Structure 1
């Protein structure tokens, strides 16, 4: 901007005394500004200070608009980028909530967290941040190439032979970036898994002096990740300088080839046109350099996209029916009719026939791996049966809406599952509109009311990560209070007392007995003393019902159940 105006100011060019004709071009704008500067100089009797001030104002106004439009460009691009990332994270979390429980048995929790955090960030910085360059730079290169072809088809033919060769070299450089990036994301997921296991099992690690072993595992993965990322960065950072060198190499080839043609008068343009052609070609180098960097970043981010797509495109095995029926209330029975279940071609349950009448308690007994938890998980449709039918009040549960089905069921697990929130929020997880009085009543039924009152903030006390601020018995009583408040007709109890001390066990067992009154209960039994009064005991062996009956009748048979009782020395 400065050069043409300063030449006019310092007398290197003649003042324009006649207003130039207007055309829609940069040259016309420049000429009009020169005319205005000339009129200022003439008006003030060749006092060029005023003209210098005008030039400064023109520059300031131009730079102001340049930066204004740059800012407005960011104002458009930034919300777009943030919206895409917000939507991506929301879709990913929504899919995690939809996926069946079986999906997560084969996935490391740390790896899923890595995809949600590190991979999403990689997409944001590697793909979304280069989006502008991936749109703008190809357009710039295309416009310049078209201009070059129009200026000299002869030289442009030579150019179009060289450019694909340079593009191939740059492409080869970035080709392995996606594979390396996939390896890096997987290592990061493994790193997060080790961290999660370390935080969860820190007490055991210290007790067994295993800090060195766990540290060695973490440091090995971490060092490998660091080395891999260095290789990726070296390759990515090579793209820009290599593209610039190749661009200048092509420029030199054109300069030699075109210059030879011009000197021998064989070219389709004169010397001035050749110089213009060379100057115009130099406008390709920077966009091509930027495009190479953007392309390499996009390839690197492509691995993160693929890892997130694995989750987004994972099959939903347990699907909501197209025309779901609503289970308003549980009235009669739960019936397993020739039910079999297999996972990854391994048969877990085989030919189960079982009817659980309303108000009855059925206990599931058997050795580890017999299929007790899987059988119980079929009722709330955590898994779908492979063969046969599972009916509630005569209706196949696959025809019921998932929400209405699960509204009729509460689950108390062997390991208490609590969230980093207040006691009240954990209790009312299944009934968000519960009043304070209802929360307190549920706590009383669960024998939790007294210990809650002793807390400094009562029901508003934060219980920490996974309820770490509470004892084992207190955590379990909160999960029972949560189940009581939901007030469902069907209970699934995975022996909630097996890991507690004697006093806590008595309090929790009393709470369970209170909760089971007038409800249909499926009890997964580890301590056989807790199911002596069950209406029916189902003994599972290798996925099949081996024995069934009451406690006394099974003892009389002298089969698997009796041996299990003898092993626990319970009569």
Structure 2
């Protein structure tokens, strides 16, 4: 229940919805119960009108002594109407009252459903915002160790399950017990003896239902994990469709997805079988109870030993037959809540996940870069795997530092530590002499621009992709940045110019065009520090030249750290840092490193860099 109440906290301010919902529900329950209770005067009038009853006014029912004798009051007023205005007129009055009661009951039921739907949407909005905000605040290392499909399933599917199961249960938890109590009160008012007899059977029904839904929560959790796996496989298949087809791996991908889909279907069938068993079992038990009461109560009426008239007994049976409806709704809600709780636990786990990279309470806000970025005995590990070992490095303002070395040596990790995408395991990185862990992440990153090896673009217009980090950018500023990035000429030739939508991940553009859009985005931000992972090796000759030219323009008059793949970039760098196995093994200018005849010289000889 702790999980349930925590999920319910996302409905705040719940009183905005709860108070009007309670009022509407109370009115609905009162008039809904009255609809059935009015059967008594209706039947009383009809029975008298058949000619089988004595029509003498002397037979007028006695006025009841207390207000709790509901059957007596209905009989009294039905008889009074019958003898005062005649059978047909009495029948009209009873029908008008029934129609009015049904109208009021259904009107307020509609209001209560509207209110509950607003609460459901409000809860979904708050929950989805919370989980998405939590995900966006997490450090990059979390996404390295997590499956994207699992995160997507929690934000999309699990939140939806929580919305329907938890809020629906809230609705049932108030309305149905209230309706059940109203029915039982009327039944006691009609016949306490018969009601006590009938209620003795209800615990038997509850026992059978509890046995049916016992394992639903465990199955729900298993099903949601399987669904998350399916989303992961789907995301991988769509993202890598070209590679899948190129390696003739379509059958493998199909089998993997379909296998998980079949497993998910198997879990769902087991869950549905168990859930749906509750409804027919409760209905069967309800019919058995009505049959027993018919035999017992009907015998009393026929023998004249009971305290109910025939019209009141029929009304009693009609109301008692409805008792199982709220009981059945409670049973269904109890079955469904396990789904919601299991989904809720997964969502709350994501909300509770805390970023390993957080700002200190009084973090320093930096607005300028004045001196240097310094690595002091920096270590970094992914779990037990050591990536960087005792890195000592000075990056002076205005200089270009090239990082080179074999793949997997730790170059990208070193670059990611500067804007605090991750925190060092040991040692410190100093930004103008201040530990970056003492600087607010937002102010630090506002001074750093990034162009990655992979062109990260969004399904939006070219203009919005360039102006991504500067929402107030003007058309002139965006065009100026595009010209510096050698992108303006191809942009104006597209269908709608800067307002052309580039598709998912920029799919409508070529590799070189995507990269130049990314460079234009960095130019527009105009940061004093640039982190570059050159990405020209997969481009055609013309695109490569344009991208490389735009990268050189981007590096002008800035402090640049570049993971270098081109010999020209390396030779022009102020400092070259050779990294192997997480260690800096060489450091110096191009000529100095050639003279050392070490790893750098061997990499040059093996033509590891593009001319």
Q: Same fold (TM over 0.5)?
A: yes
Distance in 1, matches of 2:338 and 2:608, equals 64
Change in 2 beyond 3 A, CA 1:241/1:448 = same
Query: SS in structure 2 opposite 1:488?
Result: coil
Q: In the alignment, is residue 420 of structure 1 matched against residue 459 of structure 2?
A: yes
**Which of the numbers 2, 5, 8 marks the counterpart of 2:45?**
8
Change in 2 beyond 3 A, CA 1:57/1:287 = closer
Q: Name the counterpart of 1:311.
A: 350
CA deviations on 1:26-73 (whole Å, 9 max, x unpaired) are: 55874686378448x53xxx4x54444333322221111010110111
**Which of the numbers 78, 81, 92 marks the counterpart of 2:120?**
81
Q: Name the counterpart of 1:130.
A: 169
| CA shift for structure 1 position 377 | 0.6
**Which of the numbers 340, 361, 364 marks the counterpart of 2:379?**
340
Tell me if the contact between 2:62 and 2:76 (Cα under 8 Å) persists in the aligned partners: no
| CA shift for structure 1 position 478 | 0.2
Distance in 2, matches of 1:90 and 1:137, equals 31
| CA shift for structure 1 position 6 | 4.7
Distance in 1, matches of 2:69 and 2:475, equals 74
Distance in 2, matches of 1:344 and 1:449, equals 45
Tell me if the contact between 1:8 and 1:14 (Cα under 8 Å) persists in the aligned partners: no
Query: SS in structure 2 opposite 1:68?
Result: helix
Distance in 2, matches of 1:117 and 1:240, equals 29
Q: Name the counterpart of 1:559.
A: 598
**Which of the numbers 196, 200, 207 marks the counterpart of 2:235?**
196
**Which of the numbers 431, 450, 454 marks the counterpart of 1:411?**
450
Change in 2 beyond 3 A, CA 1:59/1:252 = closer
Q: Name the counterpart of 1:233.
A: 272
Change in 2 beyond 3 A, CA 1:26/1:168 = closer
| CA shift for structure 1 position 85 | 0.8
Distance in 2, matches of 1:569 and 1:314, equals 41
Q: Name the counterpart of 1:34.
A: 78
Query: SS in structure 2 opposite 1:429?
Result: coil
TM value normalised by structure 2: 0.82
Query: SS in structure 1 opposite 2:227?
Result: helix
Query: SS in structure 1 opposite 2:538?
Result: coil
Moved more, 124-133 or 5-14: 5-14
Q: Name the counterpart of 1:365.
A: 404
Tell me if the contact between 2:42 and 2:91 (Cα under 8 Å) persists in the aligned partners: no
Distance in 1, matches of 2:197 and 2:103, equals 41
Q: Name the counterpart of 1:92.
A: 131
Distance in 1, matches of 2:440 and 2:108, equals 53
Tell me if the contact between 2:78 and 2:90 (Cα under 8 Å) persists in the aligned partners: no
Q: Name the counterpart of 1:72.
A: 111
| CA shift for structure 1 position 210 | 2.6
Query: SS in structure 2 opposite 1:532?
Result: helix
Tell me if the contact between 1:115 and 1:189 (Cα under 8 Å) persists in the aligned partners: yes
Query: SS in structure 1 opposite 2:468?
Result: helix
Q: Name the counterpart of 2:361.
A: 322
Distance in 2, matches of 1:60 and 1:156, equals 31
Q: Name the counterpart of 1:55.
A: 94
**Which of the numbers 257, 261, 264 marks the counterpart of 1:222?**
261
Where in structure 2 are the equivalents of 1:250-261 lying within 5 Å?
A: none
CA deviations on 1:65-95 (whole Å, 9 max, x unpaired) are: 0101101111221111111111111111111
Tell me if the contact between 1:134 and 1:295 (Cα under 8 Å) persists in the aligned partners: no
Tell me if the contact between 1:159 and 1:254 (Cα under 8 Å) persists in the aligned partners: no
**Which of the numbers 445, 449, 453 marks the counterpart of 2:484?**
445
Q: In the alignment, is residue 504 of structure 1 matched against residue 548 of structure 2?
A: no
TM value normalised by structure 1: 0.87
CA deviations on 1:326-376 (whole Å, 9 max, x unpaired) are: 111111111111111122122211211111111111111122221111111
Distance in 2, matches of 1:147 and 1:345, equals 69
Moved more, 521-530 or 72-81: 521-530
Change in 2 beyond 3 A, CA 1:365/1:33 = farther
For these two proteins, the number of residue pairs brought into alignment is 553
Q: Name the counterpart of 1:478.
A: 517
| CA shift for structure 1 position 211 | 2.3
Change in 2 beyond 3 A, CA 1:355/1:133 = same
| CA shift for structure 1 position 396 | 1.4
| CA shift for structure 1 position 116 | 1.5
Q: In the alignment, is residue 461 of structure 1 matched against residue 505 of structure 2?
A: no
Q: Name the counterpart of 2:552.
A: 513
Q: Name the counterpart of 1:266.
A: none
Distance in 1, matches of 2:66 and 2:115, equals 33
CA deviations on 1:442-500 (whole Å, 9 max, x unpaired) are: 00000001111111211111101100000000000000000000000010101222322
Q: Name the counterpart of 2:419.
A: 380
Distance in 2, matches of 1:293 and 1:86, equals 25
CA deviations on 1:404-429 (whole Å, 9 max, x unpaired) are: 11110111001100000000000000
Change in 2 beyond 3 A, CA 1:80/1:29 = farther
Tell me if the contact between 2:63 and 2:72 (Cα under 8 Å) persists in the aligned partners: no
Q: In the alignment, is residue 490 of structure 1 matched against residue 529 of structure 2?
A: yes
Query: SS in structure 1 opposite 2:429?
Result: strand
Query: SS in structure 2 opposite 1:390?
Result: strand
Change in 2 beyond 3 A, CA 1:156/1:27 = closer
Query: SS in structure 2 opposite 1:180?
Result: helix
Q: Which 5+ residue runs of structure 1 have no aligned equivalent?
A: 263-269
Q: In the alignment, is residue 294 of structure 1 matched against residue 338 of structure 2?
A: no
Q: In the alignment, is residue 543 of structure 1 matched against residue 587 of structure 2?
A: no
Q: Name the counterpart of 1:178.
A: 217
Distance in 2, matches of 1:99 and 1:443, equals 32
Query: SS in structure 2 opposite 1:380?
Result: coil
CA deviations on 1:114-159 (whole Å, 9 max, x unpaired) are: 1122212222233322322233344556788899999989x97997
User: What is the RMSD of the two structures over their aligned residues, measured on CA atoms?
Assistant: 3.4
Change in 2 beyond 3 A, CA 1:143/1:24 = closer
